[in-house]
Amino acid sequence: MPNYYQPEIETASREEILRIQNEKIVKQVRHVYDNVKYYRDLMDKKGVKPEDIKSVDDIKKLPFISKDDLREAYPYGFLGTDIKNCVRIQSTSGTTGKRVVAFYTQHDIDLWEECCARAIVAAGGTNEDVCHVCYGYGLFTGGPGLNGGSHKVGCLTLPMSSGNTERQIQFLMDLQATILCCTPSYAAYIGEALAEKGYKPEDNKLKAGIFGAEPWTEEMRRSIEKSLGIKAYDIYGLTETSGPGVSFECSEQTGMHINEDHFYAEIIDPDTGEVLPEGSKGELVFTSLDKEAFPLLRYRTRDICILTRKKCSCGRTHVKMSKPLGRSDDMLIIRGVNVFPSQIETVLLNEGYSPNYQITVDRVNNTDTLDVDVELLPEQFSDKMGEIQHMEKSLEDAMRAMLGIKPRIHLVAPKTVVRSEGKAVRVIDKRKLHD
């Protein structure tokens, strides 16, 4: 039986969703125009007035905004309300340049937490669950978002934050956690650490995991589901739009329902800005529909996705987005070939290797190099040089078939690739250092 947190809106007819969106967009655009000078200037420059926006169909008339705009307006330039109405800030995990700082009123926090509650209920959560949250707490939105959603559902919430895997495992087992929330790379690590302690997947009480904040493949999903004995659900979001919960997976596990009563999604051609029809692959753009403190109109996420309104067996009617298929800005171009780290991960898992790897890109004598350190599983480990070389070669061939170029593979001993407790840093691009 499908479960909903807010059944009325989650299963509303398309006409009803559109009616809500049309009503909200008019107010949201007026709110932004009246309160956010930075965006008002952009609208004026484009010659668009708030009264030109009568429905979501008119959104395409509005100017885009990007991370660069947010950086330029840092810290208060996009604030949509008086600071005295704000109760919280969160910030991006970015390590380069100025961080994005997002503001929240209590109304904004309530809506955000409701979105996360929808995700938890879609994963089977009820007030009988013990929800172990080991996304980072603090400025990062993962911990606070899922923590708030878990409270709203009425789960017993373990606000673990990230790190200290020993302690994570002790609480997870002792308190018999049933839902695990963290990045997929950390979930894989927890699975591995449990196995090392001699636990089998059936020894824990977990039934579901809610994993997001970084790209992960279907192969990675299957591997986590197996190691923890759970069903693994994807969750998506970004600080700019409030945090996790912009979209979430349901029992069908074929994409994430976007909470369309709060966010309007478009897919555009990243080069021309042209809005693409449903089913096309392109850059995801979000418009908030009812935010007070940090409303963003036509925010370019840089995430490459596909949207679909195909009927979903879970009964939800909100549009679904594919897993992000990469980013328009972190796609690697190596010797002219576009390479997504997720393609490398897919090959590794298909070939029976672990999801612990590190990609290094460099430029030597004006030629790009691609090196991948791949950790061997204990049972693959061998001290025979010939065997290792043979495995490296066959993995290189499998990579070439997928990527179109051949990386250098280095099989390394178990436990030598650094584990991440938050978002995994999969790629080191040394070319940037030479530029």
In the complex, the residues that contact ligand DLL under the rule CB under 6 A are: 92-93, 135, 141-142, 212-215, 234-239, 243-244, 301, 303, 323-324, 327
Contacts of 181 (CB under 8 A, 6+ apart): 131, 132, 133, 134, 135, 142, 146, 150, 209, 210, 211
Closest contact distance (angstroms) between CB of 432 and ligand DLL is: 19
CA-CA-CA-CA dihedral for 326, 331, 332, 338, to nearest 10: 80
Residues 6+ apart with CB under 8 A from 180: 132, 134, 172, 187, 190, 206, 208, 209, 210, 228, 230
Place of tokens 């380069």: 96
Collect all residues with Cβ–Cβ distance below 8 Å to 393 and sequence separation of at least 6. Answer: none
Smallest gap from residue 80 Cβ to ligand DLL (A): 19
Looking at beta carbons only, is 305 or 374 nearer to ligand DLL?
A: 305
Structure tokens given for 77: 């330039």
In the complex, what is the shortest distance from the CB of residue 14 to ligand DLL, in angstroms, rounded to a whole number? 25
Shortest gap between Cβ of 163 and ligand DLL (angstroms)? 16
Shortest reach from residue 72's CB to ligand DLL, in Å: 18
H-type helices in 209-368, by residue range?
218-228, 341-350
Nearer Cβ to ligand DLL (43/267): 267
Read off the tokens for 264: 């309007």
Q: Give the integer Cα–Cα distance in Å for 297 and 64.
A: 7
- Determine the Cα–Cα distance for residues 329 and 340; give it in Å rounded to an integer: 11
Residue of this chain nearest to ligand DLL (CB atom) = 212
Q: Nearest approach, Cβ of 71 to ligand DLL (angstroms)?
A: 13
CB-CB neighbours of 174 under 10 Å? 8
List Cβ neighbours of 348 (8 Å cut-off, separation of 6 or more).
354, 355, 357, 374, 395
Q: How far is the CB of 427 from ligand DLL (least distance, A)?
A: 13
Tokens of 391: 């495995």
Residue 275 CB, nearest approach to ligand DLL (Å): 19
Closest CB to ligand DLL among 93 and 369? 93
Least separation in angstroms between CB 141 and ligand DLL: 5
Q: How far is the CB of 415 from ligand DLL (least distance, A)?
A: 26
For ligand DLL, the closer CB: 11 or 328:
328
- Taking the least distance from each CB to ligand DLL, the nearer of 244 and 341 is 244
Nearer to ligand DLL, 210 or 334 (CB): 210
3-state secondary structure of 314: coil
Coil, strand, or helix at residue 376?
coil
| CA dihedral (30, 31, 33, 34) positive or negative | positive
Q: How far apart are CA 132 and CA 389, in angstroms?
A: 42
What is the H or E stretch that residue 159 is in?
Answer: strand 156-159
Looking at the Cβ atoms of 12 and 117, the one nearer to ligand DLL is 117
Nearer to ligand DLL, 10 or 283 (CB): 283
Q: 50 or 125: whose CB is closer to ligand DLL?
A: 125
Instruction: Please name the residues in contact with 375: beta carbons below 8 A apart, sequence gap of 6 or more.
Output: 353, 354, 356, 357, 411, 412, 413, 414, 415, 416, 417
- Based on CB atoms, which residue is closest to ligand DLL, 234 or 261? 234
